[in-house]
Chain A
Amino acid sequence: MLGRSLGVSICFYLLAITGLPAYASSVIALGVLDWRDEAKAASSWEPTLAALKQQFPDKQIELHQLSLEGIADALAQQKLDYVITNPGHYIQLSQTFQLAPLATLNNPFFELAQQAVGSVLLVPVENQTILTWQDLRGLKLGAVTFDAFGGFQLIWDELAQEGLDPKKDFAQWQLTGFPMEQLFDQLARGEVDGIIVRSCLAEVLAAEGRINLADYRVIGERQHSGYPCLTSSQLYPDWPFLSTGKPTAAEASQVLQALLKPREGKPAQWSAPLSYQPVYNLFERLRLGPFEAFPHNPLLNAVYRYRYLLMLGSGLLVLLFAHHIRVGYLVRKRSQALEEVMQTNQEKQQELAHLSRFTLMGELASGLAHELNQPLTAIVNYAQGSQRLLQAVTTQDFPQKANLLAAAQKITAQGERAAEIIRNLRAFMRKGSSSQEQLDPKKLLQEVRLFMEASLKQQQVELKLYLPEELPHIKANRVEFLQIVINLLSNALDAMQFKLGGKITIHLSLNLAAKFLVFDVIDEGEGLTPEASQHIFEPFFTTRTHGMGLGLSLSRSLAAAQGARLELLPHSTGGVCARLEWPIVS
């Protein structure tokens, strides 16, 4: 790769030297910014043209004197090989065109510095009111044009640094155009309060005897070492000699050689290029050229400058926000769903609790009725016997007979009333359980699962259902059926309470001969002792510390009332199989 590129460059070099017409154009077009009358301009670039002609004897060197726009147009049409223009214009052009500075102009007046472009603001020395930049406020100033780099623009930078806005803080700008010398005449005539001129112009005119330097005072004077002219501004590199990219590298090198070569004992008109970065910086400060679109406000400027980064950032922010909103929405939605589930669960639990309470109350009422009936029977018996005894005696023998008889009658009546109240209560408790429907066992078991879900989860017990393929409907009272199966399940859970995990199986099978659907609720508990299995269906018998011993006895009587059977069998798992045989719909 390296070898090849070396070869190529050598080849170009040879071509350039031999000047083969097939590869090298016979014309070198040089565009120059015209800011003075043509004759003068031509003469000022004479050394450069001479050097080029010497370097390229076979070629025709064309010098095009062009305006600011003219150079831009010519570059756009690719008519130019090289361009000479002021630094400001170069920066402006570099925004659009590929321009490479080959050299920087040596100051034609002073041999010292290449940092030769500066501006100076002059006021008449007799005017004692204008001493600083701030004194200029509200005055009338003169300049060539706002576009002049080595004039207005450099002073603008100084004014801006002093906090002055050339457009607002001055009464009027007198723009004269070229030539620049006429500004001195205007100042002399008192038409303006101060003038902005290229530095060194005053010295040149003074040398020619046209003005007297002592008549002027410089505002904001700066000293630059080795720079002999009066300046109010910083110094910037002088005009660049620019290659447009159209010439070959070999030709450009030859041009550079010609430019740097001293001629006839005089130093060359050009020297090695300086950095034009300060000009960029100035333009950035003044929002000129490539920086025209940049806002003046530093904040807005930063926004504009980093707009792509900011766009990316705000895009990310928007995404983040959207994500946040989405997450918030999801969280809200899920927590709502969770809440609903919890509420359903709670409702079911409450229903279950209510059911159990209702059942318990029924059982208690039933027990109470039986228990209360006994003493009531005794009371009524005694009262009725007393009545009989009293009726047997005469009023003469026993004067209190009528009173006591009435009392005994009242005792009987009240006792019977109490018994009636109990009977009504029992009848009421029984009322709810009368209706039977045709029900789908699968749905019923789903309901059971819903009721027991929380308890099952708490004990980490799995509930497994095994259903036969054909599942007939059963004839049952829904509430009572649920109550029985839930009771069996909670018994199974209680039996497994010391053992986390495990499963409870509900196995359904058909006993077609007997027209029963058999529900086997099988737990993995420790089973029943023989003693317990003897008494398990008796009311108030319990193996639990907190049980009332009513569940199974009640379940059995509920089942019996609906034509179903309930029994407890030992199971091969070691646990208990509660077998509920329920009549099916024929």
Chain B
Amino acid sequence: MIELRDLSKQYGARAPAVDSMNLRIEGGEFLVLAGPSGCGKTTTLSMINRLIEPSRGNVFIDGVDTHQTDPVALRRRIGFVFQDVGLFPHMSVAENAGIALKLAGKRPQEIGARVDELLALVRLPAEHFRNVLPGALSGGQRQRVGVARALAASPRLMLMDEPFGALDPLTRDELAFDYRRIHERLRLTTILVTHDMTEAMLLGDRIAMMREGRLVQVGTPHELCSAPANDFVRAMMESPRRRARALAEVQADEK
């Protein structure tokens, strides 16, 4: 269980990037942090594993304040997937996927076996990909390695910062679906940041809608659609349907 309590981040004298976030995420839940660009989603996510230090407020993971945990130890317990992947270009796929285990001081045979398991999980056949350098991979394959790397140390919590945003639509859907499956299978708690409302509605058990650093509404996709807290949430939630209607009109015109 993750709890954000009064979590805030302010840079200098500017308006706060994140302003007094209060949020509870249950164990095993898939929560989507959604909202327009610059609303503070990524900052909120990064404060959970202390890649960014909060200006105020606390994060509790299973009841323990993250301020009382060494940030390096904290990050090793939490999987993090970045939008720009950030694979280490000088390391092979296997070395990238196994880096967390190497940092934890595991033996090479142990790492090798686990890496094969991880690559199978993200559907990259180990015998083909083990020794390949990231430069030779496609965007989707790279993000699969990114997911494998985040899962290596068997974290209970996964933080994902627009992980599929830079991928082409087919790859994105395939990868999103694959990840949702992994989430179920490993009983992970996942917090995923996106500004794509379709993705938010399809993936999330619940959606936390943010705007200008503040949490506007939290609920299941159905709750947010049927009882939006304000016009902003309504507009956001309607955007997929609006697009679908526009699409249908385009298709109708063509006929």
> Do A and B come together as binding partners?
no
Task: Name A's B-contacting residues (CB within 8 A).
Answer: none
Task: Name B's A-contacting residues (CB within 8 A).
Answer: none
